Chain A
C-alpha cells in the first residue's frame, strides 16, 4: 500500500490534518457517548456533557474558594480569578513544582562534576546508581514519617524520584563531550573549572534542558502522588477530593488544565533552549 512506504512524502496540509485526526476522533467519541448516556439517564455523573464541564470550570475559575470569604460578588474579573479555587490550587501546585524544578539544577552540576572529576565520580556514582533504582513512591511513608506531611515531604519525594535520573543523565552527557574538546581547552590555557563550566557545561546544557523537559511529567507525577495523599490544597488534592463526590465535570477540566500548563512549561523551555543555544541542532 502506497501510504505505508518509508519514502512517502505527505503534503503539509495532509500532515496537519492527520495530526488532528485523533484529537477530533477522541472528542467526538466522548461527546457522542456522553450524549447517549445522558439520554438514558439525565443524572449521569460519569461522563459530563460539554455544557456541564464549562459550567463547572467557570465556577472553579471565577467563584471564590470555599475558605475564601473576600472578593465575593464584587470586584474585577482578575480579583474573582485570584480568589477562586482553580487559582489557589494552581498557585499551590505551581510553587511546589517550581521549587522541585529548581532543585534539579544542583543535580545537573553534580552530574557534571562526577563526570569530570574522578574523585567526585568515585564518591557518588555507585550510590546514585543504587539510589536511582529505589522506587520513589515506596519511600512515601518513610518521607511522611521523617519530614511530616508538610511541603518538605512532597518536595523530597520529587527529589528522590527525579534527581538521580537527572544526575546520571548529566553525568552521561558530560562523558559524551569529545575528549579532544577538553584537551583543546587545556591547551588554550583553561583550568579545570574553566573546562567544566565554560566548555562541558555549556555544551551539555541544551541536552540537559531537553532531559528536564522529558522528566517534567515525572516531576508532576510525584508531586501529584504527594498532594493526593497528604495536602490541603493543590490541583491533585482537588482532583482527589472531587473523586469522592464523583465530580467528573470538574475533574476532566482540571486534568486538561494540568496538561495545558505542562505543555506551556515544556514549550517555554523549548523556546528558551532554541533562543539561548542557536548552535544546538536536535
Chain B
C-alpha cells in the first residue's frame, strides 16, 4: 500500500502480569491504513482494540515491531492524531466554547497565555471558528457557555468531536466514543461522524465493540480475536444506514464470524482475509 498514513509492522504487545509472567494482548499485527479511510476496529473486551489506538497515538510502545504514523515512529501523542475517548473527553473546568478553542489557543500561546499581548485579538477569531464548528455539529450558540456537566452524553460527544476536528487532524482516533449513548443518540452520532468523514480527507479509526456499528461506519473492519491476540481484516461495501436490514445482518454475522475465527484459530498470527474476495462474498 503506497499511500499508507499508518503502518503497523509485525507488532506484539505484552503486559507484565506478575513476577516473570506476561499477558500478550496483540501478536504479529500487520496493518496498513490509507489516507482518507474509515477503519472500524471491533472485538471483544480485552482483545487489544484500545491498545492498538494507544500504539498509533504514540502513548504506548510495542514490545516488538514498529508503528509508523505518516512515516515516523511517535514517542508521545501530538496534533497529527485527533482523539475522542469514550469518557472524560472534555475538560470539565472549561465551557463548551473554551473546550473547542483550547487547541487553537494552546498551539499559538502555549502554557502561559496571559503573557501574550496579541491573545485577546486572536481569541475573537478562535471564538468565531469554534462557534462555526459548534453549529456544524448541531449545537446552539446558547450551549457555548455551558460546562460539560450541564450537557447530555450525546452533546458532550458532539463537543468532543468538534474539539478534535477544529484542529483538522489528518487522523481521528475514536475509542468507543459512542458506547455510553442511548440507541437514538448513538444512531444520530453515527450519521454525523459518517457525514463529517465524507466531507473531509480525515482518516478515521473507530474502535467499537458493536459489530453493527463497525460495519455501518467503516470502509474496512479490523476484527481482533478475544482469546488469541490475532487479527482478521474484513473489507465491507458501503452500507447505507437505512439499507435493507437482512443485507446488514449478513455482514454483521460475517464480521462476528471473523472475530470468532480469530479466537478459534488461536496462535495463528495475522489472519488476513483478502479484501476483494470477502467483499464479493458479502455483497452478493
Contacts and interface: CB of A to CB of B under 8 A. Distances in A.
Given A187-B81, A188-B163, A194 B91 contact: no
Nearest to B92: A279
Contact of B91 (A191, A193, A197, A203): A203
A199 B98 CA distance: 12
A187 B164 contact: yes
Interface residues of B, number: 32
Contacts of B79: 187-189
Interface of B: 57, 59, 76-79, 81-83, 85, 87-89, 91-94, 102-103, 106-107, 110-113, 147-149, 163-164, 167, 169
5 contacts: A180-B89, A186-B76, A188-B82, A188-B164, A278-B147
B85 A184 contact: yes
A187 B112 contact: no
Interface of A: 178, 180-181, 183-191, 193-194, 196-199, 202-203, 277-281
B83 A187 contact: yes
Nearest to A203: B93
A197 B87 contact: no
Contacts of B82: 187-188
A194 B106 contact: yes
B167 A188 contact: yes
Contacts of B57: 183, 187
Given A184-B163, A190-B106, 14 more contacts: A180-B89, A186-B78, A187-B81, A187-B167, A188-B107, A188-B163, A189-B106, A190-B103, A191-B106, A193-B111, A194-B110, A198-B111, A280-B93, A281-B149
Nearest to B163: A188
Given A189-B79, A198-B106, A184 B89 contact: yes
A180 B177 CA distance: 12
A189 B77 CA distance: 9
A202 B110 contact: no
Contacts of A186: 76-78
A193 to B, nearest CB: 4
